[in-house]
Amino acid sequence: MTLLIDLEELCKSPISILQQYKNSGVKVFGYTCSYVPEELILSAGFQPYRISNIGASSSFLTPSFICPFASAVIENILKNEKYFSGFIAAHTCDPMWRLYDILKKKISKPLFLLRVPHNTQNEMSLEFFKKELYRLKKFLEENSGKAIVNQELLKAIQLCNENRSLLKNIYTANKDGKYVIDAFDRFQLTLASMWMPKLEINTRIKEFKPCTKLIRKVRIHLNGTAIYDLDLIKIVGESGGFIASDDLCTGSRYFWDNVEKTIDPIQGIAQRYLTRTPCTPQGPIESRLEYINFMIKKFKVKGIITFTEKFCDPLLYDSVHLRNYLMKDGIPVTLIEYENPAQELGRIKTRVEAFIESIGG
């Protein structure tokens, strides 16, 4: 199908695409985390759609001290359940795990919990995750009414690999100190890849014409988890910074690695998703720090900004280790915590401006 939608408008209101899917008879499966393999959803005949926090406030079903991101995701699922054929949640941090407990009592659509090992880099964890993916495969087959055959799975892997490769090519245009593609454009293409049909977004990425008139700014690495509010990306640019790299699950961690060819496609998918750079609730932390250090060197970064939702304990814990790790190289780091970015943009911008000014050119 072809969607009549502007990417900037889609990123402001991703829910708007759901009505088009419904009108076209497309069955959509919502998922909450980048550890959920889109390949399996596609091979079952569903359109994957990552649930964001955009357009939702905290749910009344959660206490005030819970992560506002997880709470808003719950609210978006409850408000828009009618557009979906089912949902897949992932056990990463505790709030996202508890999200599943709430939803299974509140929604009527099929719901699956994908258990993700917290230690991502050993053989036992990989074998466990592989079994989880077989369990997910069975769940999707039961809800699609058809078996997921290897031919369809390989086709989905190829499609997702192409999407990831295209996004990575866009991203690496800024390596070695180059200023080629604005971060706002890059993040738009990445977020749209989580919501649009893969064939269509791949075509749009191929047709993308980069702006090559960027003024030289302070090169920044963006650290965090999931950022959907592109006003935060704009703020860095407006404050004299250029987001040269990131380690977000709505950024480079979404597309950096591809699924390798194996005899068993599920084995390849398990290997790719589990052994990529781990999310903050997962480990080992050394792998995450090494990835950030790799990004700093590859993209000639001068400073790191950590954007974090209030009460995000894994990221707050990580931020201390990140600061200590980078002190030896003299890389400045700042942490900016927020609860509702739309209401705090002025304060956030002041903090970003002060940090970038402290680094200088």
- pLDDT tens column, 178-191: 888 999 999 999 99
CA 267 to chain centre: 22
What's the average model confidence in pLDDT over 246-267?
95
Residue 283 DSSP one-character state: B
pTM, two decimals, is 0.95
Domain with CATH 3.40.50.11890 in the chain: 7-146
Whether 104 has a pLDDT exceeding 90, the answer reads yes
The rounded percent of the chain whose pLDDT value lies above 90 is 80
| Residue 1 reports pLDDT greater than 60 | no
Query: What is the average per-residue pLDDT within 77-91?
Result: 97
CATH class entry, domain 7-146: alpha beta
Measured distance CA(281)–CA(269) in Å, rounded: 20
Please report the pLDDT score of residue 3 as a whole number: 63
Residue 57 banded pLDDT, cuts 50, 70, 90: confident
What is the DSSP-derived secondary structure letter of residue 230?
Answer: H
- The whole-number average pLDDT for the span 340-353 is 91
Asked if the model's pLDDT at residue 212 lies above 90, the reply is: no
Confidence band for 2, pLDDT divided at 50, 70 and 90: low
Write down the pLDDT at residue 262: 86
Q: What pLDDT score was predicted for residue 235?
A: 95
Averaged over 298-306, what is the pLDDT? Answer: 96
Q: Identify which of 48, 92, 49, 85 has the alpha carbon closest to the alpha carbon of residue 70.
A: 92
- In this prediction, residue 201 carries a pLDDT of 97
Q: Rounded to 5 degrees, what are φ and ψ at 104? A: -65, -15
- Residue range(s) occupied by CATH 3.40.50.11900 in the chain: 152-359
* pLDDT at position 239: 95
Cα gap 252→288, rounded to integer Å: 12
Question: Which run of H or of E encompasses 75?
Answer: helix 68-79
Ramachandran bin of 189, using left for φ above 0, alpha for ψ from -120 to 50, beta for the remaining angles: alpha
CA dist., res. 346 & res. 349, Å (int): 5
Q: What pLDDT band is residue 250 in, cutting at 50, 70 and 90? A: very high
Using CB atoms within 10 Å of the CB of residue 274, give its burial: 0 to 12 exposed, 13 to 18 middle, 19+ buried.
Answer: buried
For position 214, what pLDDT does the model report? 63
pLDDT category of residue 283 using cuts at 50, 70 and 90: confident
Contacts of 78 (CB under 8 A, 6+ apart): 59, 103, 106, 107
Average pLDDT over all residues of the chain: 93
Which of 1.20.1090.10, 3.30.70.600, 3.40.50.11900, 3.20.20.390 would CATH assign to domain 152-359? Answer: 3.40.50.11900
Question: Using the 8-state DSSP alphabet, how is residue 239 labeled?
Answer: T
